[in-house]
């Protein structure tokens, strides 16, 4: 899932928001405004600004609890030898983008379980805080706000334990099935099937509510169910790809010695040699003066530069810098690179060895390899 709004980095992990967070933050603010049980017909016990502040604090605290949930995944993943590329928060929780897959069922179970456990811990702490504030005779508004945060974190725990991707329950079920069968692909298929069953249940339930009760609120579970079905299907497809591409290193599929562009070249000079000259591709690795990789430039990046400034603007000024480019080592596995490549805005990855460019990989390279492998291998 691609982020819409970058929030920065925490412990070196990129954190961002998906636009769907706005879908849930609005209702959270409104619920928090009414958390004391007052209606528009009932005179409030506190000034109006207090309810607005409460709504904002509740919304921010909810996002912070989602972030704690995903950071727990990231920390445990690192401890189990899995690098984390970033975290994206969305309306139903968050997604920690792992650089590679867990190598054992035990690691998969630990990485998946720590998220719901963190949410349960936050919910328990908020419950205790609400009881403590109540014993101190704190304002009813404050007590109910903390109790609401406790309830939503407990609900988050239960919801994330459901066996459907991208929820943690899907990974928990997959880890259990993987441990029992010893077959990762078979475990993923079983978890995906469970996710689809849950998705169809939500769709049928939502449609029934809309038809029988005439309530539009049934649209919400129906949409969630549709999302879960699509996500489960995509997860199964990725598992099938892993089965075909298993143990194939990036060096086997990359394009070696790609055409490069020096970072010091002006855009005018670059354009003068394309598309019929030396630069006849649409994306190029950029090299620093010491011949190490500096970034990636595409025709789209060049097109954003003002026409009148192209004689003085260099490729280094418009390129995507290396920290923002998807990279891989020659010995990395293609199955681990594929999800990062699909999430990359440029759909390309630079293959580096100690900072030096070894090649470039595109989705087309992997698709071509996949076509050959599926054609030459016997059907199961």
> Based on the domain organization, do 148 and 24 belong to the same domain?
yes
Residue 220: the pLDDT is 84
Total number of domains in the chain: 3
Residue-wise pLDDT for 320-344, tens only, equals: 999 889 999 999 988 888 878 877 8
The residue among 228, 246, 264 that closes a domain is: 246
> Based on the domain organization, do 210 and 229 belong to the same domain?
yes
> Based on the domain organization, do 100 and 137 belong to the same domain?
yes
> Based on the domain organization, do 157 and 26 belong to the same domain?
yes
- Residue 207 binned pLDDT confidence (cut-offs 50, 70, 90): very high
Residue-wise pLDDT for 238-287, tens only, equals: 777 777 777 889 999 999 989 999 999 999 999 888 777 777 788 999 99
> Based on the domain organization, do 228 and 139 belong to the same domain?
no
Residue 60: the pLDDT is 79
| CATH number of 334's domain | 3.10.580.10
Residue-wise pLDDT for 109-118, tens only, equals: 999 999 999 9
Residue 34 has pLDDT above 80, yes or no: no
> Based on the domain organization, do 116 and 144 belong to the same domain?
yes
Residue 4: the pLDDT is 61
Mean pLDDT throughout 344-350?
88
Structural domain span for residue 303:
250-376
The residue among 200, 218, 246 that closes a domain is: 246
- The continuous run of DSSP H or E covering 350 comes out as strand 348-353
With 0.75 as the threshold, say if the pTM is over it.
Answer: no
Query: Is the residue at 170 inside a domain?
Result: no
Residue-wise pLDDT for 177-196, tens only, equals: 999 998 888 898 899 999 99
Residue 43: the pLDDT is 42
Residue 23: the pLDDT is 64
The residue among 200, 219, 246 that closes a domain is: 246
> Based on the domain organization, do 75 and 16 belong to the same domain?
yes
Q: Which residues are designated catalytic?
A: 70
Full 3-state SS string of 264-322: CCEHHHHHHCCCCCCCCCCEEEEECCCCCEEEEEEHHHHHCCCHHHCCCCEHHHHCEEH
> Based on the domain organization, do 145 and 157 belong to the same domain?
yes
Mean pLDDT throughout 33-41?
46
């Amino acid at each position: 899932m691609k982020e819409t709004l970058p929030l920065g980095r925490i412990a070196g992990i990129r954190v961002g928001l998906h636009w769907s967070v706005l879908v849930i933050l609005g209702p959270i603010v409104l619920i928090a405004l009414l958390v004391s049980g007052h209606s528009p017909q009932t005179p409030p016990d506190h000034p109006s600004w207090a309810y607005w502040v409460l709504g904002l604090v509740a919304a921010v605290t909810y996002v912070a609890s989602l972030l704690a949930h995903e950071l727990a995944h990231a920390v445990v993943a690192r401890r189990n030898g899995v690098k984390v590329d970033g975290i994206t928060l969305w309306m139903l929780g968050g997604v920690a983008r792992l650089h590679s897959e867990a190598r054992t069922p035990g690691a998969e179970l630990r990485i998946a379980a720590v998220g719901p456990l963190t949410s349960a811990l936050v919910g328990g702490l908020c419950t205790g805080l609400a009881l403590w504030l109540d014993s101190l005779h704190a304002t009813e508004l404050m007590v109910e706000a903390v109790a609401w945060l406790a309830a939503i974190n407990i609900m988050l725990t239960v919801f994330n334990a459901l066996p459907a991707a991208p929820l943690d329950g899907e990974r928990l079920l997959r880890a259990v099935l993987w441990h029992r069968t010893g077959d990762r692909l078979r475990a993923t298929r079983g978890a995906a099937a469970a996710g689809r069953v849950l998705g169809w249940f939500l769709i049928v339930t939502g449609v029934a509510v809309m038809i029988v009760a005439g309530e539009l609120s049934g649209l919400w579970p129906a949409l969630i169910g549709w999302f879960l079905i699509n996500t489960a299907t995509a997860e199964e497809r990725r598992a099938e790809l892993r089965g075909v591409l298993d143990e194939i290193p990036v060096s086997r599929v990359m394009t070696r010695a790609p055409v490069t562009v020096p970072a010091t070249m002006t855009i005018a000079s670059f354009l003068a040699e394309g598309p019929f000259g030396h630069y006849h591709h649409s994306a190029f690795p950029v090299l620093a003066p010491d011949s190490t990789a500096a970034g990636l430039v595409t025709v789209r990046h060049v097109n954003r530069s003002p026409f009148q400034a192209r004689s003085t603007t260099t490729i280094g000024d418009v390129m995507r810098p290396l920290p923002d480019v998807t990279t891989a080592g020659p010995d990395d596995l293609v199955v681990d690179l594929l999800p990062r490549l699909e999430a990359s805005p440029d759909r390309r990855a630079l293959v580096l060895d100690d900072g030096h460019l070894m090649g470039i990989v595109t989705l087309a390279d992997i698709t071509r390899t996949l076509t050959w492998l599926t054609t030459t291998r016997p059907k199961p």
